[in-house]
Amino acid sequence: EAGVTQFPSHSVIEKGQTVTLRCDPISGHDNLYWYRRVMGKEIKFLLHFVKESKQDESGMPNNRFLAERTGGTYSTLKVQPAELEDSGVYFCASSQDPFTEGALGYGYTFGSGTRLTVV
Amino acid sequence: AQSVSQHNHHVILSEAASLELGCNYSYGGTVNLFWYVQYPGQHLQLLLKYFSGDPLVKGIKGFEAEFIKSKFSFNLRKPSVQWSDTAEYFCAAHPGFQKLVFGTGTRLLVSP
């Protein structure tokens, strides 16, 4: 079973540029989450999709961040324009049901993250 | 605000030493608790979880954690660490709605 895939693994961009991060969840997982870890801080929730709908976007820092999940499959997170404080590691996770152990695996499965550096 | 606190940011141990990483959470109601590990260059992996029942939870790779409700704690333990346990460890809480709340993480370095 393929895991959660994130692309790119690393991105270095200049302040003011645009970056798009992509997450491919495990096939069959309706729930998709984005988290971010700023250097030295805790991993913080950004938003949660259920299929193509945004269930909870309370963690999105500001309107420079736009997340989409076309057709309920992969998701993109666009930062436009990027600022220095956006640097960090962006994690994606997917789950079928985080409270159920089943054939698709337990709880959340995380990707390896995208390390974004804004210079 | 709801939060998870990890007291140790960096821990250095020699192989075979015992490990205990502290974790406290601030929720008063029902809460599910997790420990995740991130090995260098890899994704976050679930070490163990607590939902209910026996407060002493055993996870993968010889790790265990004890849920102490009165102390709002969920400390991670391993009797004898190995060099391969070098990683970053995250405590997380799931207070009933569908998002995890993480602690700041603890970097563990095990020297051979």
Q: Are A44 and A26 in contact (CB under 8 A)?
A: no
As a whole number, the mean pLDDT across chain A is: 89
CATH number at residue A51: 2.60.40.10
Which residue ranges of chain B lie beneath pLDDT 70? 1, 96-98
Confidence of residue A103 (pLDDT cuts 50, 70, 90): very low
In the three-class reduction of DSSP (H, G, I as helix; E, B as strand; rest coil), residue B83 is classed as helix
Q: Which residues pair with B58 in a beta bridge?
A: B64
Instruction: Give the residue on A whose Cα is nearest the Cα of B50.
Output: A99
**Chain A residues with CB-CB distance to B90 below 8 A:** 43
A52: left (phi over 0), alpha (psi -120 to 50) or beta: alpha
Could you give the CA distance from residue B52 to residue A62 in angstroms, rounded to a whole number? 37
Chains A, B: CB contacts within 8 A come to 53
Does residue A114 register a pLDDT over 90? yes
CATH number at residue B60: 2.60.40.10
Confidence of residue A106 (pLDDT cuts 50, 70, 90): low
Q: What is the pLDDT of residue B99?
A: 77
Span A56-100, pLDDT tens digits: 999 999 999 999 998 889 999 999 999 999 999 999 999 886 555
- Domain span at A65: 5-98+105-118
Does residue A11 register a pLDDT over 50? yes
Number of Cβ atoms within 10 Å of the Cβ of A52:
14
Q: Is A16 on the interface with B (CB under 8 A)?
A: no
Residues in chain A: 119
Number of domains in chain B: 1
Q: What is the pLDDT of residue A104?
A: 34
Could you give the CA distance from residue A95 to residue A62 in angstroms, rounded to a whole number? 25
Does residue A117 register a pLDDT over 90? yes
Q: Do B105 and A55 touch (CB under 8 A)?
A: no
Q: What is the pLDDT of residue B100?
A: 84
Q: Average pLDDT of A44-56?
A: 93
Q: Do B36 and A110 touch (CB under 8 A)?
A: yes
Number of Cβ atoms within 10 Å of the Cβ of B62:
14
Number of domains in chain A: 1
Q: Is A71 on the interface with B (CB under 8 A)?
A: no
- Domain span at B69: 4-111
Q: What is the pLDDT of residue B37?
A: 94
